[in-house]
Amino acid sequence: MPSSEPTLKRLKKLASTLAATYPDAKCELNFESPIQLLVAVILSAQCTDKRVNLVTPTLFRRCPDARTLAEIPQKDLEEMIHSTGFYRNKAKMIRACCRAVTERFRGRVPDTMKELITLDGVGRKTANVILNVVWGKDEGVCVDTHVLRLAGRLGLSRETTPEGVERDLMRLFSKEQWGDVSHWLIWHGRRRCFARGPDCPGCEVRRLCPSAKIFMEKSKKPLRGAPKSGRSPPRDFPERRQLSHGRSSTNPQRRRNRIMARKPNAAFMKPVQPDAALAAVVGSKAIPRTELTKKLWAYIRKNGLQDKKNKRNINADDALKAVFGGKKVVSMFEMTKLVNKHVK
């Protein structure tokens, strides 16, 4: 992306526009104490703040302070934070970090950069968040994935590492703005300047962004294979071929394979109660239709009911005659339809 040296006038206009657009920009992680924020920031690595906020209430009810977080068993902590990703490493870092806070700092989260970065799982980004949000100190700029992306798009830095981008932002903005700059860019990255398909037409700083024109021109390009403007589409305009990625969608076998590869919809996954004729195969519990179909096919193969000459054809035994009527079923699709008629 373009990253020419921004002028002082553009910097002031950019800061004022972002401040007016996001006057309430702040850390979106929920916490009640410094140690809880520290743990939440560690969990937010490669994870969204929304997901972290769904996990931390249960975690903090059981472990409200550094001592209890350090003493919680590894497996218990892994289960509680599993949905945030990289849960094994995060659990190790949280326990080690809280143990260090308890033993070396008497349960109090440090208030200096030098001390914070000695803790497990704490780098400059995490330390900057703690210093700014908890202690009101600005010793640097928090550079996460949004700040890293927007700094390049807005032409604020040519660096590709968090350390390099932080140095450039600290040089361009006053120390009083360091904390606000990170919040502005993070909020703007989450609401407008997405990693894929940024909302340039609705962007408040579009006129100050050297990348906006590039993204808007890309969005105007016609789809591959579509007819150019001003020309009538050819007789066999590849609408069908686009959907099937070059394969004819009229082939019934291919169409069946694509349909079966799709994820079943919610209606197909609703629990159903098999009737007495199916109880010998699947039992009497309510199960999803997909599981019912799998069990039926497993039963058919296990008992040698499949026709060896034509593997798609099956001959149902007495236990399934109430469903299939003793007929040979052509395919799994037809079998599924018959099963669905006999389930409630």
> In this structure, are residues 35 and 67 in contact, taking their beta carbons and an 8 Å threshold?
no
- Tokens, residue 178: 């360091």
Longest dimension (CA), the chain: 85
DSSP states of 205-244 as a string? TGGG-TTHHHHHHHHHSPPTTPPPTTSPPPTT-THHHHHH
Per the CB < 8 A criterion, the answer to whether 67 and 95 are in contact is: no
Residue 144 is among the residues annotated as catalytic for this protein: yes
Q: Which of 76, 137, 138, 144 is catalytic?
A: 144
Could you give the CA distance from residue 135 to residue 316 in angstroms, rounded to a whole number? 73
Please state, in angstroms and as integers, the Cα–Cα distance from residue 200 to each residue in 11, 15, 100, 133, following that order: 19, 18, 45, 30
Give the whole-angstrom CA distance, residue 318 versus residue 306. Answer: 14
Catalytic residue among 125, 138, 168, 180: 125
Angle at the Cα of 190 from the Cα atoms of 188 and 193, rounded to 5 degrees: 60
What is the DSSP track for 243-296? HHTTS-TT-HHHHHHHHHHSPP-TTTTSEE-B-HHHHHHH-SS-EEHHHHHHHH
What are the residue numbers of the active site? 125, 144
